Structure 1
Amino acid sequence: MSDQTKRQNEENAASVPKADTLTPADRYQELFIAVQMGCVFSDSKTFVDCVPRGDPEDILEQYREQCDDDGFDLAGFVHANFEPPQVHTSHYKSPPGQPLKAHIDSLWDVLTRHPRQHPPNSSILPLPNDYVVPGGRFAELYYWDSYFTMLGLAESGRHDLLASMANNFAYLIDTYGHVPNGNRTYYLSRSQPPVFALMVELFESNGVCKAIEYLPRLRKEYNFWMAGAEEMRPGDARRHCVCLDDGSILNRYWDDRDTPREESYREDVLTARKSDRPAHHVYRELRAGAASGWDFSSRWCDGPELSTIRTTSILPVDLNCLLYKLERQICLLNHAVGQRKQAEKFQQRAEQRKQGIERLLWNAQAGAFLDYDFERASPREALNSATAAPLFIGLASREQAHRTAQALRDRLLCEGGLGTSELDSGQQWDQPNGWAPLHWMAIRGMRNYDINADDIACRWLRTVGTLYKKESKLVEKYVVTHDGDDAEGGGGGEYPLQDGFGWTNGVTRRLLHEDPGNEANQAKAASKS
């Protein structure tokens, strides 16, 4: 990164207005509850993304003065005082005949947001540089989505956006001490799978920056995930950390709040009512599930019902592999700058984590890495595609990698690609859906060990390409339980299928580049009927 670029980035960061971190629930109090429980908008995320037309305190005061009046119209009051976000789904479709790769390349500007689009008194957290959003209802930056999106930006030659994104993530860590789930105030209490170390590698390999420039931010993110670990004793669980019986630490997903998610307020209240646990316990588990990025999945539950969710009791394979990667990255960068003692400390931490993963998460009987329920001292026997994470990170032994690859094929590979889990629960991170990031981790992970993954890549690209030829768009997730020739978008979960779509674009663009002979490279948007 040139000195001029550094100065420009510093100037951009300095010009960002100080964020008002009040969440919509904090700001609008009983008005917020009335709107969300009263279903003023069909999607709970709409209200939390609204922009107030006047001073928020004045709006709340007006509501308190009027709400008990005979004939008070809540919906009318809200529409008079708030501007809902616009979702331009039509922008995500290709003109007839446009090739798939060209469609993806053309979408980056459509999905790019600019700092000047950050209105005051809204839930958006301002950023200094342009950034790419997933699309549809997701009109903000998302943490782990962005890594997979960046794979496509790199292949499209959009190093300008890569550089902007790099500095946005650095800014978030500098400002908030971690990368929030997304750049919204209601996401500040949690993060997502920690992929910043992977991002930094991608930035350096594409000449955007030197990885060493981000060492302070990598350390700061690590401190967020490990806060309180030094004082823990065997059997303790505190925030993201769980202290094992030998004194080593593994991690879990966590959210610092135990209230309903503001973007899914009514849904969480109704879910908690189905449980015999205290409501705030259920809210914490739902929030932790959202922090995982797998919101939601039977992976976190005691069966198909979401009300049985127990995310904070589970040591996830993918999270701990990503933190192992972070520890290794910090170790290597400390070596590079001559900080030998720091490098040795993180080498030791990485080795301890690896031993913990092998002891608790590797399951020789299943021949795969399984999540572990530390409260019940037992593995989670249902396989999910996060089992590929140790291969993706390079932590698995060769024998473990080959056995895991076989388990993926035997238990999760479907006609249209890699399934997410073994259970059809009605949640979106379960059967019959397949997701771009999980395909990338499995394909790249298997290839790291010279295991042929072409069949998985071909099935996924056929699914994506076929739907593109039929509907002229890419979507958030796909049904993979039938042949790719009958491709359709996935379902389940809390909201309708979204078009766009950031990480599908990114992974698909990268896979098309790696296999130029794949027939999906010839896929073209449907002609007008």
Structure 2
Amino acid sequence: MAYFAPFPPICLFHLIFIFQLLGPVFCATVYLKKQYGENEFRIESWGKTNCSLNGIDIVQLGIGRTCEDWPDLATIFCDGKILEAVNYWGERMLFMRDSKHFVDRPLLKDAKKVVEEFKTLFDVTEWNKFMVSEMSEAQVDKLAKFVQQNFGMADGALIEHVPEDWVESPQKFKEIKDKKLRKWATELNKMWKELSKKMPENMDNNGNQRHSLIYLSNPFFVSGGRFREFRYWDCYWMARGLIASGMTKSVKNMCRNFAEMINRFGFVPAGGRIYYNKRSQPPFLTFLVYDYFASTGDIEFLKEIMPTLEKELNFWQTNRSVQIKVNGKTKTFYQYRADTKLPRPEAFCQDVELVKEIADPMEKAKIWHEIASASESGWDFSSRWIRKDETDTEKPWKLKNLMTTKIVPVDLNAIICGNFEKMAQMYLQIGNKVKSREYHAKYQLFLEDFKSLFYKKEHGIWYDFNFESGTPNEAYYGSAAVPLFTHCYDTIDLSAAVRIFDRMGHLDDDKKLISPFGVSTSQINSSQQWDFPNIFPSTQLMLIEGLRKSGTKRMKDKAKELAQNWVSANFELFNSKNCGAKVWEKITANEGLPGRGGEYNAQINVGTAIGVLLDTLVTYGGELNLGKIDGSNCEQKDLEIEPRKFPNEVAVIYEPFALLTDAELKKLDGVFPPIYGPQNQQLKTLETLNIETQYSNDNDLPRQFDARKKWPGCADIISTITDQGLCGCCWAVASASTLTDRICIARLKKGQKTSHYGGSYISAQFTCEFTPGSDGCKVVGPAWLGNFFIKKQYLGQIMKCTMDASWKTKRPNCKKECRIGWHQTVENEMVDTPTVIGHECWIGWHFGNEQKMMREIMVNGSITASYAVYDDFQITMRSPNSRKEENGHSVKIIGWGEEKKGNEMVKYWLIVNSRGKGWGMNGLFKMRRGVNEVDIEGDVCFGTPAIFL
């Protein structure tokens, strides 16, 4: 968490810098550098990103295009000058220079109009003569304005969807014996609702679209994090968890969507974007259908989809096969070999910069082909695919030395092998014995071929094969466990699993491979994400399941042990202080912390991790128990001191606000000073308050205090994190939350039963919409509630209203302004509606005293504080030295503490914000205490609830 220096407050506010396309962006809710976070992007230099193709016309070179089916969109999202220009001048156009963010943004106009507008704006007559690197400053300004006017927000295209088969407490969760694990499974189950999406209503399967999404007829699940679309093999691991959650209809929709794409393209693209259409991912659809049928017995669907499964298998046999001589005989195997030699649009800058020292365009294209092929593997990237540079002892694993198409991977061939076996079984289920015998024969034949190429008898393990050198790659990778998972070995040989696990133990002399948190993806620390120290859910599950189904008690016990370690490590991380309430895409084998390395930071709440954890919890539900694991403690990964200079430091961007206009951002936060309260009411000062004298001596105040710990009966309420969305009602959220905390605490003091639900007593939505002076999203402030909650407020019948408003009372009709972006309707928020607020409700003051604020919190609970927001935190076009006050923001203070930073002991307030759990540290942050930082100790409000027995 960040701390804030006392001078100058306008420069060291707790918020940080956000990019906007053309002008400054207000950064009212962006946090300083987090150690981990889904929105963490690193900036090390400023200016153009220098990822231009420098006049190379890829089409003329005969390399081909990536989006022929979408010619109008291709110039924008796949391989054209618009894509190149935006990436080259990325400081102004890319959200934190993430190429993927741009190609995920929807168009605001038809693609043809956007392309023609670009050509007119820059007088383009021939694309190959338009040199992106030679654009003038004025042209770059035009380009920035062009992007701003023609592209929406990356997260704005898809429609949120609650799956029809989602239930809060799935039946299978009853099999989870440990109560804490069962409760955790319920929390994980809720995340399916966040990942479930539907296509925009204005899109169909005829190419009528304004974005890079591939049309899907049925609801689907995005992978999560920066992946705003489905990812093919991610979906299989998600489906395992969906079945554990009893959501088989959702799995069927997944199968139908993939079948649509196979019938359209001949294969399943790597992801649900048009720029993935030249590469697939490991073909798990057959396994997906098999698992669905095993869970439902849906024989009619099986009959319907079997021909489509054959089509996909034929694609791999036709387009990804390779002939290799083994023991004098030519045999067919399979490899990852993408049908593109272009830079990946979602990683355009990285791919172009990687080969900038290479002059020959065709040599560049060869490397891009290897990159795309490695991406097709799902293992992007790993030392598996890289030719080691023996001359470089510091960085021997360079991506420009990728050799993916020279590798015959053991895992892909094991998956194809498993496809043959599953096809044979499913054809038998639908009564087609001829087809069943055909695929069983293919399976038996391929078993022998597979063993002859990949199995090293002396080691008792399977290795990738390098057909350039004609030798196996004798290094352990998680892919070695895939044959166990897909049954691509003679299952009569019960010792196969024993041999592979013993080999892992033999390789693990330095204890880097098998850890208390799981089994690392490899032993090689290459800095790529699919290498040491990372543990991925998919490889973990395949190893666990492969051992569990091996038939030997020793390996079944080992599978249970690995499952226990994996679940415990993730549970500990989920419940840790600074990394908690998140499921991480990958964790480290050496520390049990969020994974690292690769092209992007570890993503959170991704479907693969959720799915694998739920599947494991249900599979081993009656056997798992929690034990403390040393090491998975993120509390030591504190935030760094905030940057002292603008803008030459690492920053964290809160993406939802990256593309908002100045006007929209100004509405987002704003608090009028208390002097502007209704009827200019006389507000009491701190000195007039009759605070209990329990802590009359400042020396009695502890160095650390957290209201959640003092009043555990109200901890759930105090911990509630609200997301105000795009509504400027921070004052209402903070005020309602503070008063709710204090009602709960007052009830506890009187021995009354309290609710544990954060919306039980005072509704933030009600407060925002009906406080006098507020017309919905209009900025007022906590002090305005004084005359409102002094009186009893009777809520009328809760009912739906038209449009986006949620309910009506006898007071003014529903307000529409605030509904956008709010995550809960009032129906959800007001579960325990009845409340009566006592007479001296809200009291405001200026220039409060630190110790008196601390005593008030310690005796009666949370308080509301408002502070100043300055335009120093808007970047580009404005001076960082400005002292112009823009707006204010209200938050809830629940405690305080001290922490050592360098040689300084820093005092801080513990604060709850209203930006959801994705902001800051799970929705909380710290601000320097005792120096009236940005006036946070000079504008404080709280109320005294009247509680009657």
Give the TM-score, by structure 2 length.
0.49
Shift of 1:77: 2.1
Shift of 1:519: 3.7
Moved more, 98-107 or 19-28: 19-28
- The superposition leaves residues 29-60 of structure 1 with CA deviations (integer Å, 9 ceiling, x where unpaired) of 21111112332312110111111111222222
Shift of 1:371: 0.4
Contact (CA 8 Å) 2:560, 2:620: kept in 1 or not?
no
CA-based RMSD of the aligned residues comes to: 2.7
Number of the residue aligned with 2:532: 431
Number of the residue aligned with 1:64: 119
Contact (CA 8 Å) 1:44, 1:265: kept in 2 or not?
yes
Q: Which of these residues, 340, 350, 355, is aligned with residue 448 of structure 2?
A: 355
Shift of 1:465: 0.5
Q: 1:337 to 1:455 in 2, by over 3 A?
A: closer
Q: How does 1:80-479 map to 2 (within 5 A)?
A: 80-86=149-155, 99-116=183-200, 120-207=209-296, 209-210=298-299, 211-227=302-318, 239-245=319-325, 246-273=329-356, 278-303=363-388, 304-336=397-429, 339-396=432-489, 397-410=493-506, 411=508, 412-449=513-550, 450=552, 451=555, 452=557, 453-470=559-576, 471-479=580-588
Greater helix share, structure number: 1
Q: Which amino acid in the other structure matches residue 175 of structure 1?
A: R
Q: Which amino acid in the other structure matches residue 44 of structure 1?
A: S
Q: How does 1:40-59 map to 2 (within 5 A)?
A: 40-41=93-94, 42-59=97-114
Contact (CA 8 Å) 2:188, 2:610: kept in 1 or not?
yes
Q: 1:87 to 1:413 in 2, by over 3 A?
A: farther
Q: 1:455 to 1:290 in 2, by over 3 A?
A: same
Number of the residue aligned with 2:84: 33
Contact (CA 8 Å) 1:242, 1:249: kept in 2 or not?
yes
1:75 equivalent in alignment to 2:144: yes
* Equivalent-residue separation in structure 1 for 2:628 and 2:183 (angstroms): 6
Contact (CA 8 Å) 1:24, 1:48: kept in 2 or not?
no
* Equivalent-residue separation in structure 1 for 2:466 and 2:500 (angstroms): 20
* Equivalent-residue separation in structure 1 for 2:89 and 2:503 (angstroms): 46
Structure 1 or 2, whichever has the larger Rg, is: 2
Contact (CA 8 Å) 1:248, 1:353: kept in 2 or not?
no
- The superposition leaves residues 478-497 of structure 1 with CA deviations (integer Å, 9 ceiling, x where unpaired) of 11223xxxx31111111122
**Percent identity, aligned pairs only?**
28
Q: 1:126 to 1:398 in 2, by over 3 A?
A: same
Q: 1:243 to 1:269 in 2, by over 3 A?
A: same
SS at match of 2:527: coil
Q: 1:337 to 1:152 in 2, by over 3 A?
A: closer
Q: 1:208 to 1:351 in 2, by over 3 A?
A: closer
Shift of 1:118: 7.0
Shift of 1:260: 0.7
* Equivalent-residue separation in structure 1 for 2:284 and 2:330 (angstroms): 26
Q: 1:498 to 1:244 in 2, by over 3 A?
A: same
Contact (CA 8 Å) 1:253, 1:288: kept in 2 or not?
yes
Q: 1:117 to 1:413 in 2, by over 3 A?
A: farther
SS at match of 2:575: helix
Consecutive unaligned residues of structure 2, counting only runs of 5 or more, are: 1-67, 123-134, 161-179, 204-208, 389-396, 630-707, 709-714, 720-909, 911-949
Moved more, 261-270 or 72-81: 72-81
Aligned residue pairs total: 488
Shift of 1:338: 5.5
Contact (CA 8 Å) 2:76, 2:82: kept in 1 or not?
no
Shift of 1:168: 1.3
- The superposition leaves residues 81-116 of structure 1 with CA deviations (integer Å, 9 ceiling, x where unpaired) of 11131399xx9xxxxx99421111111111100133
Q: 1:430 to 1:415 in 2, by over 3 A?
A: same
Number of the residue aligned with 1:236: none
* Equivalent-residue separation in structure 2 for 1:70 and 1:305 (angstroms): 35
Q: 1:371 to 1:81 in 2, by over 3 A?
A: same
* Equivalent-residue separation in structure 2 for 1:23 and 1:479 (angstroms): 43
SS at match of 1:83: coil
Consecutive unaligned residues of structure 1, counting only runs of 5 or more, are: 1-18, 92-96, 228-238
* Equivalent-residue separation in structure 2 for 1:436 and 1:311 (angstroms): 23
SS at match of 1:152: helix
SS at match of 2:138: coil
Q: 1:135 to 1:117 in 2, by over 3 A?
A: farther
- The superposition leaves residues 354-413 of structure 1 with CA deviations (integer Å, 9 ceiling, x where unpaired) of 122111111123321100011211101221011001111122243332111222344321
Q: Which amino acid in the other structure matches residue 350 of structure 2?
A: E
Contact (CA 8 Å) 1:463, 1:480: kept in 2 or not?
no
* Equivalent-residue separation in structure 1 for 2:72 and 2:458 (angstroms): 46
Q: Which amino acid in the other structure matches residue 254 of structure 1?
A: R
* Equivalent-residue separation in structure 2 for 1:118 and 1:200 (angstroms): 30
Q: 1:462 to 1:30 in 2, by over 3 A?
A: same
Q: 1:152 to 1:117 in 2, by over 3 A?
A: farther
Q: Which amino acid in the other structure matches residue 565 of structure 2?
A: R
SS at match of 2:146: helix
* Equivalent-residue separation in structure 2 for 1:459 and 1:522 (angstroms): 10
SS at match of 2:474: coil
Q: 1:56 to 1:213 in 2, by over 3 A?
A: closer
Q: 1:257 to 1:274 in 2, by over 3 A?
A: same
Moved more, 264-273 or 346-355: 346-355
- The superposition leaves residues 222-258 of structure 1 with CA deviations (integer Å, 9 ceiling, x where unpaired) of 111011xxxxxxxxxxx41111222321000111111
Contact (CA 8 Å) 1:275, 1:308: kept in 2 or not?
no
Give the TM-score, by structure 1 length.
0.86
Q: 1:274 to 1:458 in 2, by over 3 A?
A: farther
Contact (CA 8 Å) 1:87, 1:136: kept in 2 or not?
no
Shift of 1:117: 6.1
Number of the residue aligned with 2:616: 511
Number of the residue aligned with 1:12: none
* Equivalent-residue separation in structure 2 for 1:27 and 1:284 (angstroms): 21
SS at match of 2:333: strand
1:494 equivalent in alignment to 2:599: yes
Q: Which amino acid in the other structure matches residue 415 of structure 1?
A: P
Contact (CA 8 Å) 1:159, 1:208: kept in 2 or not?
no
Q: 1:179 to 1:520 in 2, by over 3 A?
A: farther
